[in-house]
Amino acid sequence: MPNPASIAAVADLVRTASSALFITGAGISAESGLPTYRGVGGLYEDAHTDEGIPIETALSGPMFEARPDVTWRHLTNLESAIRDVAPNKAHRALVELERLIPRSLVLTQNVDGLHLAAGTRNLVEIHGNVHRLRCPLCGHKETVFSYAAFTRPPHCPRCSGTLRPDVVLFGEMLPEGPLQTLQRELARGFDVVFIVGTTAGFPYISGPVIKASRQGVPTIEINPTETDVSHFVTHRFAKPAGLTLEAILAAVVGKSR
């Protein structure tokens, strides 16, 4: 169980905050049974594929352009790992915290869609969502919840172009829309910043935490292992996300009554 005194201190921060940023990574979805593998969205079992190439190459923009069948093979493996997974208590706790805080944002690296499934409303999926497909040629978009019946690669029903999941592959730029939303919200500032279940290896993930820390904004990390931002944060919980976020939520609600 997380330290009750630390939980109480963080609960006080949340209770008085008018805004909060929650940054999440693969570790939060691990509690739903998803592995924290390498690869797009943190999901892939090995550094190399059956083709003998690095997974970063197989799941890259250039490979999709040259050999979409190879990329789609591994995207299908990724989707099959996600397909029957449900949000866990960490996702649900964030939904409840969102309801209690006047303005909050969840910034996630995950492509599994579990924050949406849990009910998070103000969400930036900075790496996209594996359930959304789009056609790069004609702009057709659709939402799917299984790749099981797909040919590889699947074709657009409108123009017969090659469909792709709306995710950021290796070597690709971050999507402009979500990035603009994130930059706009960061410019407004937050009263408290959480980082949950991520090693914070990308600058757009670690940056908001480091900046907040330097500006004197309270920062909270929830991760069993130390990360690139651990020495910057105000409070650190080396515990699972669900257990810790539930305890914080209970303390916030309990003292508010």
**What is the set of active-site residues?**
127
Q: Token pair of 195, please?
A: 């980082």
CA–CA separation, 123 and 181 (whole Å): 10
Helix (H, G, I), strand (E, B), or coil: what is residue 103?
strand
CA–CA separation, 239 and 26 (whole Å): 15
Pairing mode of beta strands 219-222, 192-196: parallel
CA–CA separation, 46 and 39 (whole Å): 9
Q: Which residues pair with 104 in a beta bridge?
A: 20
CA–CA separation, 222 and 238 (whole Å): 6
Task: For the chain, give percent helix, strand, coil, nearest 5.
Answer: 40, 20, 40
Q: Token pair of 45, please?
A: 């079992």
Phi-psi region of 189 (alpha: psi -120 to 50; beta: other; left: phi over 0): left
